[in-house]
Amino acid sequence: MSAGSTPSPDPTSDVDLLLERYGGPDASVARLLCDDHRADRVAFTVVDRDLRSTTLTYGELRDRSERVATALRARGIRPGDRVATLMGKSADYVTVLLAIWRAGAVQVPLFTAFAPPAIAIRLVGSGAKLIVCDPSQRAKLDPGEDIPAAAPWQVVVAGDATGRTGDLLLSDLEADRALGVQPASVGGDGGLIHIYTSGTTGSPKGVVAPVKALAAFATYMKYALDLRSDDVFWNAADPGWAYGLYYAILGPLTLGVPSLLLDAPFSPELTWAVLSQHGVTNFAAAPTVYRSLRASSAPAPRGLSLRCASSAGEPLTPEINLWAIDVLGTPVHDHYGQTEGGMLVNNHHHPALRRPLKRASMGRPMPGWSMHVLEPDADIPANTGDIGRVAVDMSESPLAWFFGYHEAPEATASKFSPDGRWYYTGDTASVDEDGDFFFRSRDDDIIIMAGYRIGPFEVESVLAMHPSVAESAAIAVPDEVRGEVLEAHVVLAEGCVGDDGLVNELQTLVKQKFAAHAYPRHIVFVEQLPKTPSGKVQRFILRQQRREELAERPS
């Protein structure tokens, strides 16, 4: 199948072709995502906060990644080894990714807002041998309470920086290295990404996406987003997380369609400027982005070129489309997925699958996936309209690629039925008579804030480090812009006082020890937490109480 080709009218046949392309025993990531595309075609356009842009062609990407891959191999990186990235969106970042895969290694993505403890968990858990970081991130890797003094990983610093003693520089790895190194062929079952996802009752869990997962990512780009060879595509999600990595980086590379990368913090003004000045025709972002644009006083530019707008990461609230049709010139299509499989249910843009949008519906299953709503306490399909558990029928989902967490058998067992047929997403929904899915809730207490999935256990673990905290529970409460914000209910240690000073200390602690984006926006001091007889905190009771309280407040 040629790069950027028009999808066949039969999605099932197209899925078979994609599986053949990416699932074969000789599959080579570097060839499939880079070398097979025309050398003069633009792969990425990187835009900075001043709206200056630079392009990276497939030829340049091949040359640069070959040099870095040669250097990685010279430093002992072999197929299957883990190489982490702690980098923002840049030409260096994309180069490093292709170099990792060209060497046959597996990438471990790290979100740049992570604090040292969150970084250390992922580096140690994956067994990373090397990490490439931006200069602004280097201090997070210094020895300390969480980072060992004799860390087993080598540090490579990108950009214009000297690094620490013993560090390698990305610019040096590129210099004076021979071209022509053969890209590794690890096959469809070989590792591609080792990414971490958070739950509510334990440490983050590792998900290893194989090369054949690219077939699922390409299917989403072709049918859900209807990405075409003449599109100007921009996925605003951060590649430190699954949606950004899968569909802002890997997805466009599967089709050879140029993609924009904005190397700057979000602002409504900057978003409007990029959409307008670059003539974006196909845009994907979290609902928070659309809500922020709607709430902003920054005026929308006239004459936008948007053909498709899509949303993922959390449910899209209906009022967005009342605004989007008038301002963006197109409705926003809601999409649903998970780190463990990519996108699963979508309001598809492609003409072969496009249907009239239904209020609050997340759409229908993507080709290659068999999605069902099961009864709450039995592995049989629920009745039409009834709320039940969203599950994947693994026996009828040829694009399914996740079969267990890395070195976590107990967590794996909880996600699959005993016979292996069903994968439980942990979410609840209903299905109407037309087969459209309607998201209802998450049944595992995951907090989704601004498109980021946050496990309350990680936040509560950090709060417990403060001597004034006896115990805590983190929940999500509604927020007009972010959809949800994180709120912590804290029981104080004996003799301690909850005041504004302590609130600030606890918020700062979470920023420093977990992640800058995941601190509790509200902290409520309580005498006790609701618990089951066995002592488990009942977060759903806290959520219900807070929603009732907020509903009673005047607008």
Question: Are 220 and 304 contained in the same domain?
Answer: yes
What pLDDT is stored for residue 363 in this prediction? 97
- Within 8 A by CB and 6+ apart from 384, the residues are 431, 432, 433
As a whole number of angstroms, the distance between CA 271 and CA 405 comes to: 36
As a whole number of angstroms, the distance between CA 114 and CA 97 comes to: 19
**Phi, psi (deg, nearest 5) at residue 298:** -70, 125
Tell me the per-residue pLDDT of 439-482, one tens digit each, with 9 for 90 and over: 987 776 778 777 777 878 788 889 988 999 989 999 999 887 87
Q: Does residue 327 lie within any of the structural domains?
A: yes
Q: Check residue 286 and give left, alpha or beta (phi > 0: left; psi -120 to 50: alpha).
A: beta
Question: Are 378 and 514 contained in the same domain?
Answer: no
Distances (CA, A) of 324 to 287, 296, 311, 321, 327: 12, 14, 12, 5, 5
What pLDDT is stored for residue 535 in this prediction? 64
Q: At residue 495, does pLDDT exceed 70?
A: yes
Mean pLDDT rounded to a whole number for the chain: 92
Q: Is 207 exposed, middle or buried (0-12, 13-18, 19+ CB in 10 A)?
A: buried
* Total domain count, the chain: 2
Question: Are 232 and 366 contained in the same domain?
Answer: yes
Question: Are 397 and 459 contained in the same domain?
Answer: no
Q: Name the token pair of 459.
A: 């936040």
Question: Are 393 and 458 contained in the same domain?
Answer: no
pLDDT category at 198 given cuts 50, 70, 90 is low
Tell me which of 402, 435, 470 is where a domain ends: 402
Question: Are 393 and 463 contained in the same domain?
Answer: no
Q: How far is CA 448 from the centre of its chain?
A: 12
Question: Are 298 and 373 contained in the same domain?
Answer: yes
Question: Are 345 and 489 contained in the same domain?
Answer: no
With beta carbons less than 8 A apart as the criterion, state whether 275 and 227 touch.
no
Q: Does residue 264 lie within any of the structural domains?
A: yes
Q: Does residue 198 lie within any of the structural domains?
A: no
**Phi, psi (deg, nearest 5) at residue 179:** -90, 175
Q: Does residue 377 lie within any of the structural domains?
A: yes
Look-up of token digits 């066995």: 534
Question: Are 467 and 392 contained in the same domain?
Answer: no
Q: Does residue 7 lie within any of the structural domains?
A: yes
**Phi, psi (deg, nearest 5) at residue 481:** -95, -50
Q: Does residue 38 lie within any of the structural domains?
A: no
Question: Are 254 and 371 contained in the same domain?
Answer: yes
Distances (CA, A) of 92 to 44, 98, 102, 446: 11, 10, 15, 33
Here the CATH number for the domain that contains residue 533 is 3.30.300.30
Q: Does residue 473 lie within any of the structural domains?
A: yes
Here the CATH number for the domain that contains residue 379 is 3.40.50.12780
Tell me which of 382, 402, 422 is where a domain ends: 402
Tell me the per-residue pLDDT of 70-114, one tens digit each, with 9 for 90 and over: 999 999 999 999 999 999 999 999 999 999 999 999 999 999 999
Question: Are 253 and 390 contained in the same domain?
Answer: yes
The residue count for the chain: 555
Q: Does residue 49 lie within any of the structural domains?
A: no
The boundaries of the domain holding residue 225 are 1-24+212-402
With beta carbons less than 8 A apart as the criterion, state whether 344 and 371 touch.
yes
Report which of 304, 141, 295, 174 is spatially closest to residue 234, judged by C-alpha positions.
304
Question: Are 378 and 481 contained in the same domain?
Answer: no
With beta carbons less than 8 A apart as the criterion, state whether 220 and 248 touch.
no
